[in-house]
Amino acid sequence: MLISRRQLLKSGLGATATLVVGSAIPAILENPAFAAVPVQTLNFRFTDAIKEMVTHEAGNNEATCYFWCLKEDHLAFPDVPGPNIFATYGERIQIILTNDLDEPHAFFIPGIFNSGPIAPGKTVVRSFVAIRTGTFLYYDNLNAPVNRVMGLHGAFIVMPRRPIGLNRMTPYLVPTPAVQRLFNDLGRASWWPGLTWEQGATNPPHDDGTPAADTSPFRQWIWVLHQASPKLFAEVGSLAPGQLMSPAAFMNKFLRDPFVATSNDLRVVGTTTEFNYKPQFFTLGGQSGHFSHNDPAMCPNAYVGEPSLVRVLNAGLFTHSCHIHANHVYVLCVNNQIRTNLWWVDTFTAHPMDTWDWLVPYMRPPDIPNVRGIGRADEPMTTLAGGKTYPPIEEMNTFIPPLGTQAKDPSGNPVGLEMRMSPLCFPMHDHSEPTQVAQGGNYNCGLVSGIVFLGDRNRPGGPVTFPGMFPG
């Protein structure tokens, strides 16, 4: 089951809709994971959709949810969240907004732009300047929080134009000294061998000779977190034109609807197969489970030595506790307040409407046995078989399920289920675990991403690409 990563990205699994406004940001435009579209003007319609949510894919599925969503003119489809929007600090951005729905809507970026209410059927033309750098949620702030939670939201990212003096670039116009020191040390200090954040690189081929993709500069991933209640959103979508659901009524159902022992699982003594109004789907970038974890556009995929940024935005009403495996990460900035004390954590809290930035060092997972055992990428220990603990060649040559494990594809043809233990794959998930389910169960179809180590830039003989799940 060797698939090329290019195929994966082309398939729609692996292309998160992204727009780059105004002056080109080459790092984003050339990064295939973003499949970014350069635009001069943002042209959004407030519209609606039924979205198919995560589930098995048999014909008779009820795993759908009604959403309000933003359709941008350059993209074939709307989605929830709306597209990631990148701009450069100081850019003037033109925006056209058309309301195809039955009630007023608005487009709001805190501290940057507020369209004000746009009546049904109306189009407005505005412009604004990206006067701040960082990670922002754009959303419809009317009838708060109803419109935003119904799906009208997305990520708005503003990159600085240049670094300060001879320093390395950071994500901010005016970083704190701690942030500047970190970004200056990445790729330069002896404990951070590899690339700076702003450097890209070419990579050696996989062991079977297939080429490996280049490493992009300014590596970053964007996680827009959300929760969806098909029952509640359908009610909002069934209101008469112009009729609004009150925020109090919406939140009471979404957050406080009484518990119901829903079950169609014979192992569990439930009282009904119906659901209550609480959300039953939990998404990262609008996807759940496999569709966000195994998507290199939403899941960090990089080499040891390639520090990467993760921007997290919580568009919903639940608090999430995001835990990343394999590396601890630095918290750089929370709600656009750049930190002076960069806590190095494995878990961090995303309250509703929080935005924050993590720097993932992409150091070698430090608890792989090594000579000094003090968290440095030391000489690996020698195994009983005479090999080395790192790179973990024996592990990477293991297949679980083993080679030859098969099932059928929908046409009845055999399909292999074997999975190689390479590259090194780890999860990121919400540790407040009720969000790890879909429709109240089906663990691991919830709010997840991951962290994948594709290789190691810092091997004594030069960069090494690990055997690929997706060579090429």
Partner 1 sequence: MSFTAPAFRIPRRNAFIFGGTDPTTGRDWPPLQAMWVKMWDPPTASPATPELLNPTNPVPELMAAAGFQNTPTIPHTVQRDLLHNTVIPMWDGKPVMFFTFRDTDNPATINGNYPAATIRMPRGVVYHGRTQGHGPPPHTIHWHGIEPTPINDGVGHCSMELGAYTYQWQPNFTGTYFCHCHRNTVQHFEFGLFGLLIIDPPDAYFATENDPSIPIGAGEDGARRVACNLPRIAPFSQFPEFEGGDPVIGVANGDPHAFTVAYDVEAFWVLDDVDSVWRDVAMDAKSFYPKAGNIPGVNDTFYHGFFHDFNPDYWFVTGVPVPAPKGGTAPIAANVVIPPALNSGVSGTQVSINARIGDTILIRCLCAAYNCVSITFPVDVVIIAFDGRALGVPPFGLYNAAFVVKKGIPFHLSTARRFDALIRSTKPINSFAKVEFINTRGQVPGFPEDVVMTAQIPIVIS
| Residues in 163-222 at the binding interface with partner 1, rule: CB under 8 A | 178-179, 181-182, 185, 189-191
The answer to whether 69 touches 39, Cβ cutoff 8 Å, is no
By the rule CB under 8 A, 73 interacts with partner 1: no
Nearer to partner 1, 22 or 187 (CB): 187
Binder to partner 1 among 276, 308, 458, 465 (CB under 8 A)?
276
Q: End-to-end CA distance of the chain: give it in Å, rounded.
A: 13
Rounded to the nearest whole angstrom, what is the least distance from the CB of residue 188 to partner 1 in the complex?
A: 12
Rounded to the nearest whole angstrom, what is the least distance from the CB of residue 23 to partner 1 in the complex?
A: 29
Nearer to partner 1, 87 or 425 (CB): 425
Q: Are strands 347-350 and 344-345 parallel, antiparallel or unpaired?
A: unpaired
Binder to partner 1 among 40, 60, 165, 384 (CB under 8 A)?
384
Binder to partner 1 among 40, 166, 209, 411 (CB under 8 A)?
411
Pick the closest to residue 93 from 145, 21, 143 (CA basis). 21
Q: How far is CA 188 from CA 175, 183, 306, in A?
A: 18, 9, 12
Nearer to partner 1, 204 or 401 (CB): 401
Is residue 28 classed as helix, strand or coil in its secondary structure? Answer: helix
Binder to partner 1 among 41, 114, 210, 263 (CB under 8 A)?
263
Query: How many H-runs (helices) and E-runs (strands) does the chain carry?
Result: 8, 26
Binder to partner 1 among 36, 44, 79, 107 (CB under 8 A)?
79
Site for partner 1 in 129-168 (CB under 8 A): 145
By the rule CB under 8 A, 404 interacts with partner 1: no
The answer to whether 3 touches 13, Cβ cutoff 8 Å, is no
Distance CA 470, CA 472 (A): 6
Of the listed pieces 107-115, 152-160, 258-266, 460-468, which binds partner 1 according to CB under 8 A?
258-266
For 5-162, list the strands marked E by DSSP: 18-21, 37-39, 41-52, 64-72, 84-88, 92-99, 108-109, 113-114, 123-129, 134-139, 153-159
By the rule CB under 8 A, 414 interacts with partner 1: no
CA 72 to chain centre: 20
Distance CA 467, CA 404 (A): 19
Label residue 396 exposed, middle or buried (CB < 10 Å: 0-12, 13-18, 19+). middle
Nearer to partner 1, 209 or 412 (CB): 412
What the block records as the tokens of 130 is 């990206």
- Total residues contacting partner 1 by CB under 8 A comes to 159
Binder to partner 1 among 304, 437, 454, 464 (CB under 8 A)?
437
Site for partner 1 in 317-376 (CB under 8 A): 317-321, 323, 325-328, 330, 341-349, 351-353, 361, 365-370, 372-376
Nearer to partner 1, 88 or 276 (CB): 276
Contact string 447-466 vs partner 1 (x = CB under 8 A): ---x----------------
Nearer to partner 1, 2 or 129 (CB): 2
Nearer to partner 1, 201 or 421 (CB): 421
Distance CA 218, CA 203 (A): 16
Nearer to partner 1, 94 or 210 (CB): 210
Nearer to partner 1, 116 or 375 (CB): 375
Nearer to partner 1, 91 or 456 (CB): 456
Contact string 92-121 vs partner 1 (x = CB under 8 A): --------xxx-------------------
By the rule CB under 8 A, 1 interacts with partner 1: yes
Nearer to partner 1, 259 or 462 (CB): 259
Residues contacting residue 209 through CB under 8 Å, at least 6 positions apart: none
Site for partner 1 in 18-47 (CB under 8 A): 47
Rounded to the nearest whole angstrom, what is the least distance from the CB of residue 266 to partner 1 in the complex?
A: 9
**DSSP-H helix ranges across 66-157:** 146-149
What the block records as the tokens of 5 is 């990563």
Rounded to the nearest whole angstrom, what is the least distance from the CB of residue 434 to partner 1 in the complex?
A: 5
Nearer to partner 1, 7 or 23 (CB): 7
Cis peptide before 78 (omega within 30 of 0): no
Residues contacting residue 137 through CB under 8 Å, at least 6 positions apart: 109, 110, 153, 154, 155, 156, 224, 313, 315, 353, 355
By the rule CB under 8 A, 74 interacts with partner 1: no
Contact string 294-313 vs partner 1 (x = CB under 8 A): x-------------------
Rounded to the nearest whole angstrom, what is the least distance from the CB of residue 189 to partner 1 in the complex?
A: 7
Distance CA 14, CA 23 (A): 25
> With b meaning 16 or more CB within 10 Å and e meaning fewer, what string describes 10-38?
eeebbbbbbbbbbeebebbeebbbbbbee
